[in-house]
Amino acid sequence: MIKNDLFLRALKGETVERPPVWMMRQAGRYLPDFMKLKDKYDFFTRCRTPELATEITVMPIHQVGTDAAILFSDILVVPQAMNIEVQMKPGLGPWLPNPVRTTADVEKVIVPDVHETLGYVMEAVKMTKKELNNEVPLIGFAGSPWTIFCYAVQGQGSKNFDIAKKFCFTNPQAAHTLLQKITDTTIAYLKTKVEAGVDAVQVFDSWGGMLSPKDYQEFSWKYIQQIIDALKTEIPVIAFGKGCWFALDSMAKSGASALGVDWTCSPEMARKLTGGEITLQGNFDPSRLYSPPAQIKQMVHDMINQFGKDRYVVNLGHGILPDIPVENAIAFVEAVKEYKVW
């Protein structure tokens, strides 16, 4: 029995005394203890070593006080398992030396046995669950098929993912084949995480907002829907599409337990677009954590008042930035814990 189950209760739509709070990328670069490990071990070593992944996952629970933990990993472990080489270059980020650009390239991409290729993630889940000792729930995650596709085809991060989009529009059959392979792998990956012990999963569609509403339905959402359909009877599923406010109405009918919202969509608009019957998560601008702690607390209280305390998970509208002072992150969390309905 999880001692602090606020997060899971909010996902179920239950009445809560206050909303739960966690932060995307909370197990990361803003924490001094994380930076010490970063100096000793490269990125994918940290992901692939269950002891390190566990230590990093648990850090913000003890140091910041969030109501849920999210497993330290990366969305790009999935393409690595699919026979796509991914490197993490300092100062550049993800780098794929052999991007997928042709039908022949797509044919070389495999749907792996995730127990073999991603077993280290499952070990990290089991180890983290033991370390958390039922204090808070553990979230597992994956990138959306479209977001993984963007990196696989573009070969690196991008402001517009033009090469990835060109591939979709000039070779749609191969694009859909690749998207389906990613989807099948992601479903197997998340199901195995559920078996290993995670309490909820989140699908990150970081680059969905690069697509028009029509193209979003074709190249992104229908694949996320497959993931939700495969998992929704087993575990709560959160779908987060950055820049995808235009799809919130269809997302709300998906069977997901909650929808993430970024800071470009107001709480009022998000509630209106989703019909007010689904849990929402978000949507504090990560850059606003540069504000003084007293101002952060006031803004968080205002945000909760706008969303309402029920069917709501307090979070950022995207990942926490690396140079945010730890005390500001703590102020964000404390503001939620101090919240009272007046």
The answer to whether 62 is a known ligand-binding residue is: no
Token pair of 198, please?
């995670």
Q: Is the CB of residue 227 less than 8 Å from the CB of residue 187?
A: yes
The answer to whether 156 is a known ligand-binding residue is: no
| C-alpha span between 224 and 231 (Å, rounded) | 11
pLDDT band of residue 340 (cuts 50, 70, 90) is confident
- In percent, how much of the chain has pLDDT > 70? 99
Digit-coded pLDDT (tens) for 297-318: 999 999 999 999 999 999 999 9
The answer to whether 115 is a known ligand-binding residue is: no
Q: What is the pLDDT of residue 273?
A: 97
- The residues that bridge with 316 in the sheet, in sequence order, are 284
The answer to whether 44 is a known ligand-binding residue is: yes
The answer to whether 157 is a known ligand-binding residue is: no
Q: What is the pLDDT of residue 275?
A: 96
| C-alpha span between 315 and 338 (Å, rounded) | 15
Can you spell out the DSSP letters for 211-271?
S-HHHHIIIIIHHHHHHHHHHTTTS-EEEEETT-GGGHHHHTTTT-SEEEE-TTS-HHHHH
Could you give the angle at which helices 222-231 and 172-196 cross, rounded to 10 degrees?
20
pLDDT band of residue 342 (cuts 50, 70, 90) is low
Q: Is the pLDDT of residue 74 over 60?
A: yes
Q: Is the CB of residue 273 less than 8 Å from the CB of residue 250?
A: no
The answer to whether 87 is a known ligand-binding residue is: no
Average pLDDT over residues 60-77: 97
Q: Is the pLDDT of residue 91 over 90?
A: no
| Prediction pTM value | 0.97
Digit-coded pLDDT (tens) for 26-50: 999 999 999 999 999 999 999 999 9
Digit-coded pLDDT (tens) for 228-269: 999 999 999 999 999 999 999 999 999 999 999 999 999 999
Helix and strand totals (H; E) in the chain: 17, 9
Q: Is the CB of residue 210 less than 8 Å from the CB of residue 158?
A: no
Average pLDDT over residues 180-194: 98
- What does DSSP assign to residue 98? S
pLDDT band of residue 140 (cuts 50, 70, 90) is very high
Q: What is the pLDDT of residue 310?
A: 97
Q: Is the pLDDT of residue 218 over 70?
A: yes
pLDDT band of residue 90 (cuts 50, 70, 90) is confident
The answer to whether 174 is a known ligand-binding residue is: no
Q: How many C-beta atoms lie closer than 10 Å to residue 209's C-beta?
A: 17
Give SS3 for 91.
coil
The overall average pLDDT reported for the chain is 97
Q: Is the CB of residue 18 less than 8 Å from the CB of residue 337?
A: yes
Token pair of 122, please?
């499952």
| C-alpha span between 257 and 12 (Å, rounded) | 7
| C-alpha span between 200 and 11 (Å, rounded) | 9
Q: What is the pLDDT of residue 318?
A: 97
The answer to whether 26 is a known ligand-binding residue is: yes
Q: Is the pLDDT of residue 341 over 80?
A: no
Average pLDDT over residues 176-203: 98
Closest CA to 325 of 39, 64, 38, 43: 64
The answer to whether 149 is a known ligand-binding residue is: no
Digit-coded pLDDT (tens) for 101-135: 999 999 999 999 999 999 999 999 999 999 999 99
| C-alpha span between 86 and 94 (Å, rounded) | 7
The CATH class of the 6-337 domain is alpha beta
The answer to whether 27 is a known ligand-binding residue is: yes
